[in-house]
């Protein structure tokens, strides 16, 4: 599932608009990475977005 376990960022829906102004459905998915992290003193694999990794919210192993 494309969802960050820390900030809750998930799939966003919207419309793709062509040059002729036709509208079709599309999705934007967050940049999710599976990383090994230290969560409450235990080593687990978590799905987090790249923004949380860069900002230091996740303590990586």
pLDDT tens figures, 29-44: 999 999 999 988 899 9
Is pLDDT at 1 greater than 90 in this prediction? no
Averaged confidence pLDDT in the chain: 95
Strand partners, 9: none
pLDDT in tens, 43-52: 999 999 999 9
CA pair distance 30, 41, nearest whole angstrom: 27
What are the sequence ranges of the domains in the chain? 12-55
Length of the chain as a residue count: 61
CA pair distance 35, 22, nearest whole angstrom: 40
Q: Look up residue 34 and give its two tokens.
A: 């599976």
Assess contact for 39 and 57: CB atoms under 8 A: no
Assess contact for 10 and 2: CB atoms under 8 A: yes
What's this model's pTM, rounded to 2 decimal places?
A: 0.79
Give the mean pLDDT of 5-22: 97
């Amino acid at each position: 599932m494309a969802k960050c376990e820390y900030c809750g960022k998930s799939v966003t829906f919207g419309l793709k608009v062509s040059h002729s102004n036709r509208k079709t459905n599309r999705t934007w998915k967050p940049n999710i990475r599976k990383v090994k992290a230290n969560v409450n003193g235990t080593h687990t694999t978590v799905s987090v977005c790249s923004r949380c990794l860069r900002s230091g919210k996740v303590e990586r192993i």
